[in-house]
Chains A and B, each alone.
Chain A
Amino acid sequence: MKPFTYERAASPAAAAAAVARTPGAKFVAGGTNLLDLMKLQIETPRHLVDVNRLGLDTIEPTAEGGLRVGALVRNTALAADPRVRRDYGVLSRALVSGASGQLRNKATTAGNLLQRTRCPYFYDTNQPCNKRQPGSGCAAIGGFNRNLAILGTSKDCIATHPSDMAVAMRALDATVETVMPNGQARRIAIADFHRLPGGTPWVETALVAGEMITAVTLPAPVGGTHIYRKVRDRSSYAFATISVAAVLRPTTGTARFAFGGLAHKPWRVEAAETRVDGGAKAIAAAALAGAQTTDQNAFKVPLVERTLASVLAEGAAA
């Protein structure tokens, strides 16, 4: 690790101001992604602002009948909360599909949203990577890209966002709450939070420098059958090849689907949700419209359709 200085913030606004003010500063929450990348010198912050003890680790009901999840709530605590298990099962399931028991005890709501890609070339400092080193090129295009994106890609980057939790939050229409360095609060819809790579793959979210996540709010429960199906190379402790977060409401004939492992952000196409009557084939066709595949990752297209078929069958049996 490169040398850095360390401070414990006194409040969220003070933390945001400290990161905005100090050159090369970053927030540290659970540290499970940041420290991993610092050891490889992919991240080289010169100052760390610890946001762990600011009282942002509670889950409170909102006036609208939903839940406000503090930015520092651990992934295990969120997955195990009785209200989440009862009313937002898709989120509980997505959380426990990710990482390991030990990592989930440390990983936080904000850190999980902001974890960086698992593209193998992003991790290999000998290789060109526009995300790690702007302008150096993309080794994944034309390289080993079996697990990379098929939607919303650009000629500069085809990385996926690796979070499972974020996919469920996209299906639930969550909102990210932040505090800016000037102390002002802001709300960002999860749909607008993660960006597509475009010509600036290193700009991954809508956050501005020093902006700190304080919470994620979930709207009032939507009911229905909640399913999170993760397909991966081994059955536990592996990142998604593809994943489907689904909320099925057969009585009203409506459904919601968000997908992981396909793009630089959780992928949701509302038009696909009006095609439930057409079954997996019709939903997949609408959700994957415009997909651009490589020889290695073209299998994700039929895999999404088959996984949807299995999710619909599980929903029908529930």
Chain B
Amino acid sequence: MNDKPAFTLSRRGALVGGAAAAAAGAVPIDAGAAPAQPAPPAVPVRFTVNGKARALELDPRVTLLDALREHLELTGSKKGCDHGQCGACTVMVEGKRINSCLTLAVMHDGDDITTIEGLGRPGDLHPMQAAFVKHDGFQCGYCTPGQIMSSIAVLEEIKDGVPSYVTADVAGKPALTGEELRERMSGNICRCAAYSNIIAAIADVAGAKDVA
């Protein structure tokens, strides 16, 4: 984000710029030198987040992830890479898991969105949240909201018959095996490598025995 003088950057702007600069390794740091470009007109957007109707006026550049975190203060969804590579930003939109960092908030007018905050709360955890605690499916916890959203979606996808690259017969019904779970969870990176405990948690919720 080198399109505004550095001293007017919001925390969000600084974070976005920081992530993009780190990824590109190329964005100039002297943001103050760049001439100011007018911000595009704000676009109204309404969607339902965790059962609650929300209305925002947003710069079209705001991603769904930034809308959730910085405008609605739902900071459970995490920004790991901001480029679709880590899965920390995984949320459910219209019942399907997506990377909220690679989609614009204004593209989701009318959509039904569920974040980790919409699953359960302390004392009343979603079964998948409880299983992650029980199986130690995390260490630092940064990837965990994305892992949990994906885990719930993976079990739905297997139930719906969505094939994966390790499904032997794509025309048949996918099996609930460790190999299937690992392949389907590969879009969620865990820097602490809690992978085996994450698979144990998912298998527990699915009631799958002998998953290795």
Contact = CB atoms under 8 A, between A and B. Distances in A.
Given A40-B24, A89-B170, A96-B164, A101 B187 contact: yes
B82 A101 contact: no
Given A3-B38, A35-B102, A237 B163 contact: no
A126 B26 contact: yes
Interface string A93-123: 1001101111101100000000000000001
B153 A103 contact: no
Interface stretch (B92-100, B131-139, B197-205): B92-100
Given A80-B162, A99-B187, A106-B103, A5 B60 contact: yes
B107 interface: yes
A106 B89 CA distance: 14
B165 A236 contact: yes
Interface string A55-76: 0000000000000000000001
A92 B63 contact: no
Contacts of A285: none
Given A35-B102, A39-B83, A106-B102, A86 B39 contact: no
A2 B60 contact: no
Contacts of B184: 101
B71 to A, nearest CB: 16
A270 interface: no
A165 to B, nearest CB: 13
B82 A39 contact: yes
A35 B64 CA distance: 12
A296 interface: no
Identify which of A6, A50, A101 gathers the most chain B CB atoms within 10 Å of its CB: A101
B26 A124 contact: yes
A123 B85 CA distance: 15
A4 B164 contact: no
B97 A105 contact: yes
A48 B105 CA distance: 13
B102 A6 contact: no
A76 B162 contact: yes
Interface in B126-175: 150, 153-154, 157, 160-165, 167, 170-171
Contacts of A294: none
A149 interface: no
A125 interface: yes
The DSSP consensus for interface residues of chain B is: loop
Interface residues of A, number: 43
B150 A102 contact: yes
A92 to B, nearest CB: 5
B21 to A, nearest CB: 10
Interface string B37-55: 1111101000000000000
Nearest to A226: B170
A145 to B, nearest CB: 19
A28 interface: yes
B82 A100 contact: no
Contacts of A79: 162-163, 170
A269 B39 CA distance: 50
A3 B98 contact: no
B102 A31 contact: yes
B207 to A, nearest CB: 21
Given A50-B107, A102-B187, A96 B102 contact: no
A309 B131 CA distance: 44
Contacts of A124: 24-26
A36 interface: yes
B61 A4 contact: yes
A133 interface: no
23 contacts: A1-B1, A3-B38, A3-B59, A6-B104, A28-B107, A30-B102, A30-B103, A35-B103, A36-B102, A39-B82, A41-B27, A48-B104, A50-B107, A76-B96, A80-B161, A82-B171, A93-B165, A100-B84, A102-B84, A103-B102, A106-B98, A126-B25, A236-B165
Interface of B: 1, 3, 16, 20, 23-27, 37-41, 43, 59-61, 63, 82-84, 87, 90, 96-99, 102-104, 106-107, 150, 153-154, 157, 160-165, 167, 170-171, 182-188
Interface of A: 1-6, 28, 30-32, 35-36, 39-41, 48, 50, 52, 76, 79-80, 82, 85-86, 89, 92-93, 96-97, 99-103, 105-106, 123-126, 230, 236-237
Given A100-B186, A123-B24, 8 more contacts: A5-B41, A6-B60, A32-B84, A35-B102, A39-B83, A50-B107, A79-B162, A124-B24
